[in-house]
Amino acid sequence: MLRANNEITSVMSSYVELKRAGRDFVCSCPFHSERTPSCHVYSETQSFYCFGCHAGGDVITFIRLIEHLEYMESVRFLAQRAGMAMPEDAGNDDTSKKRARMLEMNREAARYFRDILNSPEGREGLEYIQNRQLTHNTIVKYGLGYAPDGWHNLQYFLRKKGYTDDEMEEGALLARRNNSVYDKFRRRVMFPIIDRRGNVIAFGGRALEKDAPAKYLNSDETLVFHKRENLFSLNFAKNTKEKFLILCEGYMDVITLNQAGFDCAIATLGTAITPQQVNIMKQYAPEVIISYDSDGAGQNAAMKAINLLSEAGVASRVLVIPDAKDPDEYIKKFGAESFRQLLGKTATALDHEFGRLKAGIDLTVPAGKSEFLKKAVPFLATIHTDTDRMVYISEAAKLSGQSPGAITDLVNDRRRHNAYGEHKKEERELIQSKTRRDPINPDSTDYPREERAERGIIAYLFHSPDLLPRVEKSLSPGDFPTEFNRRVYTKCAECIRSGEKLDITAISGEFTVEEVGRITGICRQADTVPYSIPRLDEYIRVLIGHRREKDDKPVSEMSDEELLRKMEELRARKRK
């Protein structure tokens, strides 16, 4: 019923743009950056699978991945979405309980910091905030607070609320040195980081000491906080009526913009922009305006953002701020309306970068033209769209006095060089991957032929559950040498025997999201070859052959696991 009321294309279309491909749909995968859509959504099986990063599963798995929830939390999320009553059957879900407790602890910490800000103890923090010209409404809206000077203030407060030091340390509210713990945030203005559902998941703290080791300090990653996959103020920006997002560097830029009426402002969380963050932005706006500081570090960060946005198919513009170092300073100097006019004058990302290439170069002399071409060719080679590349090659030809054909030859040569480099990199990664153990099924390295047969049998059970008796006639779970596939086979067999429909939903609660993706991939990749009884029998013969080889091994050469399995098989034969 839950899945019927949450049809997968309906749910996924809230996060990604789906395009029909025959009976099914494709989209750019929201879990990794890509230019060509490799994520397929299958209406018949109500599942999805990305052939790029191998994420996959049913609608519950999708929500687990994109909302960073545990299994039962995802079930609740979908039940609420569909207006369904949610049975309280998750009493044994320890991870969900732990997550809920951590979120409530964070909320208590946010209340503590807020109350301190409004007390005599928080005067220093309040003065700093007021000097930044933030209004009372903005302070309340963002839940700003203050962590007082001292080593154990928050620790003792949360202890009274019933939280242990271990919980506070695990939630990144306490830090540890040697054998003692202490408040992580001290004498800092506090910025709660709130996710799209309104949960306080982490904190950022701005030091008031001029010689503090770190001007801004962010929470470490926890069960509820993944900094690469969250954005500051997205809880407000997700509801914007603007057709764009403004990507800023810091908290104060975002808050000042929001106060000035630009509720589409967001910022990354102490890290350079990531593909995961780009995919989140893509869900909420077709265009991103990059508003980074004008210094060297800011410009380098802008270039990385431009590349990642381009790879994800998101249009981008770059905001050049005159007579100010950032949006916060500009709005204070010239006002919100002037800033809005500035937004209308922003150049496309390619125009901006092309303009930077020629800045400071004298294009009236041969040496200047040569210097310009040396910078332009590598840039032109990175432009993925043929039309855009042709336009900028034409512009480069005019500026350098060279023919478009000559520059095209240089650019194509550079593109071939880049492609060769990428190919060699892929080869190295492939070689390295062959020497690394599979993190999901590490036993596959030791049993490559048998592991292929195991996958084949599992795929057959999903395709034709009625063939389970044919498999069980010859094999037991112990005949599957890899532990992961053995677990999958056992769960599939249990499901079929109980009369339950075997699909990804039926078993996904027993596996991690990565494992569910692997199981989905087993089924999807098996679909490329016709199903036939002789093919299934060949898979069975491979595992029977492995069992015979194992049986022939002397006891002295058996591993503990093989010996236990052998003894169990002998006991089973006696019972028969």
For residue 91, the model assigns a pLDDT of 46
How many domains does the chain fold into?
Answer: 5
The enclosing domain of 157 has a CATH number of 3.90.980.10
Does one domain contain both 245 and 353? yes
In whole angstroms, how far apart are CA 545 and each of 406, 536, 548, 549? 63, 14, 5, 6
The pTM of the full predicted model, rounded to 2 decimals, is: 0.66
Does one domain contain both 482 and 570? yes
The enclosing domain of 302 has a CATH number of 3.40.1360.10
On whether residue 91 sits in a domain, the answer given is: no
Does one domain contain both 379 and 348? no
482 Cβ partners below 8 Å, 6+ apart?
441, 443, 444, 447, 450, 451, 454
Closest CA to 278 of 495, 21, 34: 34
On whether residue 88 sits in a domain, the answer given is: no
On whether residue 413 sits in a domain, the answer given is: yes
Does one domain contain both 307 and 371? no
Does one domain contain both 62 and 112? no
Does one domain contain both 451 and 515? yes
Provide the token pair at 330: 């500009």
On whether residue 13 sits in a domain, the answer given is: yes
Closest CA to 261 of 135, 172, 162: 135
On whether residue 247 sits in a domain, the answer given is: yes
- Please report how many Cα atoms fall inside a 13 Å half-sphere around the Cα of residue 413, on the Cβ side: 7
On whether residue 304 sits in a domain, the answer given is: yes
For residue 491, the model assigns a pLDDT of 92
Chain center to CA of 70:
15
In whole angstroms, how far apart are CA 152 and each of 163, 180, 181, 264, 573? 14, 11, 8, 37, 64
Does one domain contain both 490 and 430? no
Does one domain contain both 169 and 124? yes
pLDDT tens by residue, 131-187: 999 999 999 999 999 999 989 999 999 999 999 999 999 999 999 988 899 999 999
Does one domain contain both 43 and 25? yes
Phi and psi at 192, nearest 5°, equal -65, 140
Which of 307, 326, 359 is a domain's end point? 359
Which of 225, 253, 279 is a domain's end point? 225
The enclosing domain of 518 has a CATH number of 1.10.860.10
Does one domain contain both 349 and 365? no
- Structural domain including 405 reads 360-435
Which of 81, 107, 130 is a domain's end point? 81
On whether residue 338 sits in a domain, the answer given is: yes
The enclosing domain of 44 has a CATH number of 3.90.580.10
Does one domain contain both 212 and 147? yes
Q: What is the full per-residue pLDDT of the chain (576 aa) written as tens digits?
A: 777 788 999 999 888 888 888 888 998 888 887 767 889 999 888 899 998 888 999 999 999 888 878 788 888 888 888 787 665 554 446 777 888 899 999 999 999 999 999 999 999 999 999 999 999 999 999 999 999 998 999 999 999 999 999 999 999 999 998 889 999 999 999 999 998 888 999 999 999 888 777 888 999 999 889 888 889 999 999 889 998 999 988 899 999 999 999 999 999 886 678 888 888 888 888 899 988 876 666 667 777 788 788 777 788 888 888 888 788 888 989 999 999 988 887 777 677 777 777 777 888 888 888 888 888 888 788 776 677 788 878 888 888 888 888 888 888 888 888 777 766 765 665 555 555 678 889 888 888 889 999 999 999 998 888 899 999 999 989 999 999 999 999 999 998 988 888 888 888 888 888 999 999 998 887 776 778 888 899 999 999 988 887 766 565 666 666 667 666 666 655 555
On whether residue 87 sits in a domain, the answer given is: no
Does one domain contain both 287 and 384? no
